[in-house]
Structure 1
Amino acid sequence: MSDEVEPGHVRVRLDLSYDGTQFSGWAKQRTLRTVQGELESALQTVMRLPRPVELTVAGRTDAGVHARGQVAQFDLAAEVWAEHGDKLLRRLAGRLPHDVRVWRVAEAPAGFNARFSAVWRRYAYRVGDHQGGVDPLRRSHVLWHPWPLDVGAMNEASAELLGEHDFAAYCRRREGATTIRTLQQLSWERGADGIVTATVRADAFCHNMVRSLVGALLHVGDGHRPADWPGRILRAGVRDSSVHVVKPHGLTLEEVGYPADELLAARSREARNMRTLPGAGCC
């Protein structure tokens, strides 16, 4: 979607959350239930539109992944926005299913693009290592790991992965897409409830990146691998069969960060450029 809004239209920003358990991911599919499909249907219904709006999202989550701070956008004729804008939040609350909620509806500033204007995405991955398993009330949001985890060792291993790297070893490759990312934060903390939470923040993520990183670091935490192993995997630059992609239900998109309004358009243009590492060839 262009950053330029057609004359006579406004760009609308949605801030939303969802429980991904019963969704086949974000992206609309013909025969499967998705977050995008539910939202576009609800928006069309409550505004009585002749055709669905087209949503652009900050991060396309996989099946089973949750979101607390997802951001999406769509363009709407100005007269329709004037008629429905102040009622949209309440009407969506009455139309959407219980596992997806919109918390804010607002006209977006000039140059805003939910996907390309973002400067970072922050995810959390939650793991329980209690010998008895995971609290049944949290089973859809916490992975059970059957061995005790050493959070200190996991943080030591995580430090080697920070910065700008080619994360090909931790991503599922997609034709024409780069796997170079800047990992800004990767840290682990055990809460008072015993749950171990990974906080993972980057400018963007390639497919399966967070769940692969978590899978590698759990091997360090339970003592099956040394602390330098995830870094060696990263530098090798190829997928390793011993790095498991952990299950999706422990993962939540917590927050998406954007620059100041006057920098939105420039950030969007920058994010569209194919990145290479310093010294790397262009082809």
Structure 2
Amino acid sequence: MSDDPAPGFVRVRLDLSYDGADFSGWARQRARRTVQGELESAISTVLRLGEPVELTVAGRTDAGVHARGQVAHVDLPGEVWAAEGEKLVRRLAGRLPWDVRVWRAAQAPAGFNARFSAIWRRYAYRIGDHPGGVDPLLRGHVLWHDRPVDVEAMNAAAKLLLGEHDFAAYCKKREGATTIRTLLDLHWDRTPEGIAVATVRADAFCHNMVRALVGALILVGDGHRPPGFPGEVLAGRVRHSAVNVVRPHGLTLEEVGYPADGLLAARNREARNRRTLPGCL
């Protein structure tokens, strides 16, 4: 099935960011405020379109999760894009609420799909473990943990999770959806201000995956569990009662990676195939 825009339409890539605190996640919902809902309404309004538009996003974030480097695409009438495209970012700045911004709008290369052409997504999760709490100016983006966490211990545990695995133990199951993912990077660093920051990069993520991984690693960091514990949970392929899905406000989608333009269409097709692990056909 072709993913090309309909005849007479142009595919436009949008690079955007948002503070997720007051949104019920990305995906449009009836009677709830969402990022997709705000953006689609704003685009239709500023371009004076007679019908609604529909956005496709690289990663559908949950309620309360932030994004600094989100990517979406929308198919617009060619004549509208030719006449109004250069003004779109500025016009959206005047129409969108303060907690969502579009930084770039450009015609996408052939074969581009914001979701299926992506080869990785990178998230950051931020934890403050100062006994006095979190800086009030950072409170909306940093989780406070009331015990010190050992970054080196968490890094030792994280190494055991890298690679392609069935992450069913760290995902909220969805009917018919695979939980096989390739975890490309998972490590912790301390900022000069003392914040522990997890960098988590994978080809894709299933529902709650990052927040559950962080929940397991915190148990290692504060001494409740040994470094091998998160790997044991992974191998079990079922949710573990000790692993909490940490709160969403510490999580930010930082960046989405795409292949070279000439490989976009092939990646688009490949990403739609259902995945299995070797020997699990």
Q: TM tier, shorter chain?
A: over 0.9
Provide, for residues 65-109 of structure 1, a one-character-per-residue CA deviation record: whole Å limited to 9, x for no partner: 000000000101100111110110110000000000000000000
Q: Give the structure 2 partner of residue 116 of structure 1.
A: 116
Please name the residue that 2:32 is paired with: 32
* Distance in 2, Cα, partners of 1:146 & 1:222: 9
What does residue 99 of structure 2 align with?
Answer: 99
SS of the residue corresponding to residue 38 of structure 1 reads helix
Q: Give the residue type in structure 1 aligned to 2:164.
A: E
| 1:162-198 Cα distance to aligned partner (Å, 9 max, x none) | 0000000000010010000000000000111000000
Q: Secondary structure at the match of 1:101?
A: strand
Unaligned 5+ residue runs, structure 2?
A: none
Name the counterpart of 1:232: 232
Alignment of 1:22-171 (within 5 A): 22-171=22-171
Secondary structure, counterpart of 1:154 in structure 2: helix
Q: Secondary structure at the match of 2:74?
A: strand
RMSD: 0.8
Letter of the structure 1 residue corresponding to residue 175 of structure 2: E
The equivalences for 1:167-246 within 5 A come to 167-246=167-246
Distance 2:127 2:239 in 1: 23
TM-score norm. by structure 2 comes to: 0.99
CA distance in 1, matches of 2:52, 2:90: 19
Identity %, equivalent residues? 75
The 2-side partners of 1:5 and 1:45 are apart by 21
Superposed structure 1 runs of 4+ greater than 2 Å apart? none
Deviation of 1:3 after TM superposition, in Å, equals: 2.0
**SS of the residue 1:93 aligns to:** helix
Tell me how many residue pairs correspond in the alignment: 281
Q: Distance in 2 between matches of 1:252 and 1:165?
A: 23
CA distance in 1, matches of 2:232, 2:258: 32
Task: For residue 12 of structure 1, report the CA deviation from its aligned partner.
Answer: 0.5
The separation in 2 between residues aligned to 1:16 and 1:76, in whole angstroms, is 18
AA matched with 1:112: F
Deviation track 1:123-157 (CA, whole Å, cap 9, x = no partner) reads: 00000000000001100000000000100000000
Q: Which residue of 2 aligns with 1:262?
A: 262
Inter-partner Cα distance in structure 1 for 2:213 and 2:59: 18
Cα distance between partner residues in 2 of 1:36 and 1:226? 41
Name stretches of at least 5 consecutive residues in structure 1 with no aligned partner: none
- Aligned to 2:137, the other structure's residue is in SS state helix
Return the offset for 1:8.
1.2
The one-letter code sitting in structure 1 at the alignment partner of 2:113 is: N
TM, length-normalised to structure 1: 0.98
